[in-house]
Amino acid sequence: MIQRAAFKKWMTNLLNEPPKLTFNRMQVKLGLKNYTNFESYVWCLSTGRVGTKTISKLLDIDSSILSLHEPSPKLFGLSKIGYDNISEEALLQAVLACRSETIGVSQKTYMESSPHLTFLARMLQKGFKNSKFIHIVRHPRKVVDSGVKRNWYSGNRTDEWRIEPSENDQYYSKWQSMDSIEKNIWSWVRTNEWILDFQLSQPQDDFLTIRSEDLFSGQKDTIERLFKFCGVDDFSEQKVNKVLSKRINSNMSNGITAGKIVWKQKHIDLLNHMGRELILKFNYNLDF
């Protein structure tokens, strides 16, 4: 795991001496594209645990899209630094360096669905021409339960790169005494608030919000809007149904806590207090 001191040094070096990004001559000869040569870019923004891997599989159906979920190197640590507002120029150079080896063939559109992208949205817009964004939402109870089962904020190996309250956040002083359900509720709210704030600066045609429940239940209008937003007017419904029939990246895997997550009244109260406006905005039911 990258230690904070080492990562800070890496970021400083990037800012002082941006990497020289090269493209292999053989790739040019073969007609391959590097990350700068796509006509457009689509980035998914989310809390995570909303079905981003399934979305990448769906859009991979069309040959005009290079659709990836979490290409290497992952941007997890960079995203937290983006949330903390640390040196946008250094972050931009880091993101460009991390995607310098991304290669396509004949695809027009590059699409990445990793939730690690979320707090890098402003940098992605600066670094990649014709960028568009998809905000994927899911009912907070489902996201929080899934996060708790994966030990988010309670010992997960990536917790040091998970967002936390800043000093001007009203939950900053309470953070250490909050349990994992409360912390995951806070994360769901703050992440979606951040995305909605970013949306305000975007042209309407370059931003799409979809609910994962509508997509994965096979709602035709939602599926059509997703593909059309990515420049695809016609797609195979049979292939779409095949992807949706699979439980991709579900909780049934090693390292996942089994059983039902028990919510106390304080958890329900916190979600209603922090997230009521978001829940109503996304057309979810407050009674759960």
Residue 191, pLDDT above cutoff 80: yes
Lowest-pLDDT choice from 2-6, 41-45, 205-209, 223-227 = 2-6
All domains of the chain in start order, with CATH: 4-140+198-261 (3.40.50)
Q: At what angle do helices 265-281 and 140-149 cross, to 10 degrees?
A: 130
Query: Rounded to the nearest 5 degrees, what angle is found at the Cα of 246, between the Cα atoms of 244 and 252?
Result: 135
Residue 20, pLDDT above cutoff 80: no
- pTM exceeds 0.75 for this model: yes
Residue 25, pLDDT above cutoff 50: no
Residue 4, pLDDT above cutoff 60: no
Question: Which of 187, 191, 194 lies closest to 171 in space, CA to CA?
Answer: 187
Band of pLDDT at residue 205, cut at 50, 70 and 90: very high
Task: State the Cα–Cα distance between residues 118 and 45, nearest whole angstrom.
Answer: 5
User: Within 13 A of 204's CA, how many CA atoms are on the CB side?
Assistant: 0
Residue bearing the bigger pLDDT, 230 or 256: 230
What's the pLDDT score for residue 11?
56
Q: Which tens digit of pLDDT belongs to each residue from 125-170?
A: 998 989 999 999 999 999 999 999 999 999 999 999 999 999 999 9
What's the pLDDT score for residue 23?
38
Other CB atoms closer than 10 Å to residue 281's CB: what's the count?
Answer: 13
Tokens 């568009």 found at? 132
